[in-house]
């Protein structure tokens, strides 16, 4: 499965050939600003979930397929069976307290991996020009 070809089917307009999720930023000290959204940093693998024709495919931020997470992709497919969507998120493994454990994810131990979705790029149509807060609200539905 080729990420660029699959994304082109969602975004037929000319676009940057190296479409990638926006990198997260780390700051040395917390700050408070009403113009910013704050979210917990989940410790896992950044991924794009692409759902089409009842199947989900997971890709790394560099466009490589996450073939080893086929059960997770199938679970996403079951949740969004009749939808065309591109979802930006993080693949994580949670401990019994619900905290991400990167080593468990890396070595495939502990609880099965889960997908934390934090941005909805398409949902039947291209949403990238919509406000981030509106896309997040649509994601919660």
Q: Which residues are catalytic?
A: 41
Residues in the chain: 141
Distance, CA of 38 to CA of 30 (rounded, Å): 10
In eight-state DSSP terms, residue 24 is P
Cβ–Cβ < 8 Å for 104, 71:
no
CA distances from 95 to 12, 72, 75, 83, 99 (A): 40, 17, 19, 31, 5
């Amino acid at each position: 499965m080729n990420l660029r070809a699959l994304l082109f089917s969602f975004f037929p307009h000319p676009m940057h050939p190296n479409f990638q999720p926006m990198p997260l930023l780390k700051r040395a000290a917390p700050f408070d600003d009403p113009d910013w959204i704050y979210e917990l940093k989940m410790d896992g693998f950044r991924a794009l979930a692409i759902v089409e024709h009842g199947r989900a495919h997971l890709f790394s931020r560099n466009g490589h397929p996450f073939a080893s997470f086929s059960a997770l992709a199938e679970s996403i497919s079951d949740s969004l069976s009749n939808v065309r969507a591109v979802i930006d998120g993080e693949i994580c493994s949670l401990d019994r307290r619900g905290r991400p454990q990167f080593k468990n994810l890396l070595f495939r131990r502990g609880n099965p991996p889960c997908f934390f979705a934090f941005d909805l790029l398409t949902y039947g149509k291209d949403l990238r020009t919509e406000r981030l807060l509106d896309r997040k609200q649509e994601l919660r539905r």
